[in-house]
Amino acid sequence: MAKFDVKMNKAGEKLSVVMGGSIDEDADFTQLSLAGAGSIDIQMAGLKSINSCGIREWIKWMSTAPAAQITFSECPKVIVDQINMV
């Protein structure tokens, strides 16, 4: 599987997050801070898969998000299917 990869770009209060690879037990969200963002755009086109361990890590990470407008863009069907199971 492809290794989890994230690129973050903050411009003022807008945070852009571009994700790729696989969200699994090896995905490390600890260095990805959402603090201080007024709006967050998460681009997911590069994601290939997510498993139950990845869902757990995703939920922990998203719980750190400030009160902000969050937009998910280009979310692949495999990701939507797994998230809908939760």
- Could you read off the pLDDT of 22-64 as tens digits, one per residue? 999 999 888 888 888 899 999 999 999 998 899 899 999 888 8
Q: Give the chain's end-to-end CA distance (angstroms, integer).
A: 22
Note the pTM of the prediction, 2 decimals.
0.85
Q: Say if strands 39-50 and 14-23 run parallel, antiparallel, or are unpaired.
A: parallel
3 state SS of 71: strand
Q: Of residues 73 and 67, which shows the higher confidence score?
A: 73
Kindly list the distances between the CA atom of residue 78 and the CA atoms of 2, 23, 27, 66, 81, in Å, as whole numbers in the listed order. 15, 11, 17, 27, 5
